[in-house]
Amino acid sequence: MRRHEFQPGRLIAGLVLLAGGVLYLLDATGETDAPWYAVVPLTIGGFTLAALAGLVSYAVRRDRRERSSASSDK
């Protein structure tokens, strides 16, 4: 199996959506009383955090590629 690169932004986005789904599931079973408008800021905040993590990891990977290509050119 081919290895793939770790993408923390996708991990965070998946965890945020999973948390939102669990909140709605708990609300449907009657365990909690989560208002619908509480999930929207949670989702938007989580997607913002995921975007920042994705941008940072992309910048780090790009910098590493540039450094390795610069060192191999010498």
Residue 25: pLDDT band with limits 50, 70, 90 = very high
Asked if 43 and 66 count as a contact pair (C-beta separation under 8 A), the reply is no
| CB atoms closer than 10 angstroms to residue 13 | 19
> Whole-model pTM?
0.78
Residue 10: pLDDT band with limits 50, 70, 90 = very high
* Residues 2, 18: Cα–Cα separation, whole Å: 26
What are the residue ranges spanned by the domains of the chain? Answer: 17-63
